Amino acid sequence: MTQSAAAIETLLRQRHSVRGFLRDPVPRADVVAILETARSAPSGANLQPGKFHALTGAPLAQLCACLTEAAAQNRAPVSQYSYFPDPMPGVLKARQRAAGFGLYQTLGIERRDLAGRRAQFAANYRFFDAPVGVVVTIDPAMGKGCFMDLGLALMALMMAAQARGFATCGIGALANYADLAHAHLALPEDEMVVCGLALGRADPQAAVNTLRTERAPLEAFATLSGFDA
């Protein structure tokens, strides 16, 4: 394995979702470099689907205020696209529950502490207090394959951030109030809000950042044929 290959593998294995950030600002030059690297991800026919709207300071605070107010009022979520399968197969439901229980256990939130759970979930709408929040959009006229290509760009973004010493966390919950985010940012009609992403330096003292979710074993998701033993 080459040195560069080993470095990439290390970054992939070190990356994890961070929900506790330092308040240190992220320089604009770093954000630009991260976004440009993300755009280098492959896409079918080089369509390069999706856009990234990075906010910090007052613009981010104003968006967070809008979203958290909606959450506090128990505003009904919108549903512009399907994120999870419905119904959720048992094996996937078990993974979802394990991830949720692991998060709450790390934070010391008991299973019956509904208020604590709601408060933690509401942190999604503050982008986990990260110094940078990214709103990710796509043209709804794009095909399903373009969502896959957008996912490649998102992973490239996360890896580019990791390589520069920053941490990230995807925020699928932003889609619950996609219409509010869309209106607040005055986005054009051909941009549908897909998710959010928190970006900043991880807080080494935050207990929530010790959480690590398990990955399925190789035999559960891959087959290999024709290889030497």
Three-state SS sequence of the chain: CCHHHHHHHHHHHHCCECCCECCCCCCHHHHHHHHHHHCCCCCHHHCCCCEEEEEEHHHHHHHHHHHHHHHHCCCCCCCCCCCCCCCCCHHHHHHHHHHHHHHHHHHCCCCCCHHHHHHHHHHHHHHHHCCEEEEEEECCCCCHHHHHHHHHHHHHHHHHHHHCCCEEEEEHHHHHHHHHHHHHCCCCCCCEEEEEEEEECECCCCHHHHCCCCCCCHHHHCCCCCCCC
Contact at 8 Å (CB) between 54 and 35?
yes
What residue ranges define each of the domains in the chain, with the CATH number in brackets? 12-81+125-206 (3.40.109.10)
Chain center to CA of 191: 18
- Predicted pLDDT of residue 136: 98
Contact at 8 Å (CB) between 193 and 137?
yes
Q: What is the pLDDT along the chain (229 residues), one digit of tens a residue?
A: 788 888 889 999 999 999 999 999 999 999 999 999 999 999 999 999 999 999 999 999 999 999 999 999 999 999 888 889 989 999 999 999 999 999 999 999 998 999 999 999 999 999 999 999 999 999 999 999 999 999 999 999 999 999 999 999 999 999 999 999 999 999 999 999 999 999 999 999 999 999 999 999 999 999 999 999 7
- Predicted pLDDT of residue 80: 87
- Predicted pLDDT of residue 176: 96
The pTM score is 0.95
d(CA 161, CA 119): 27
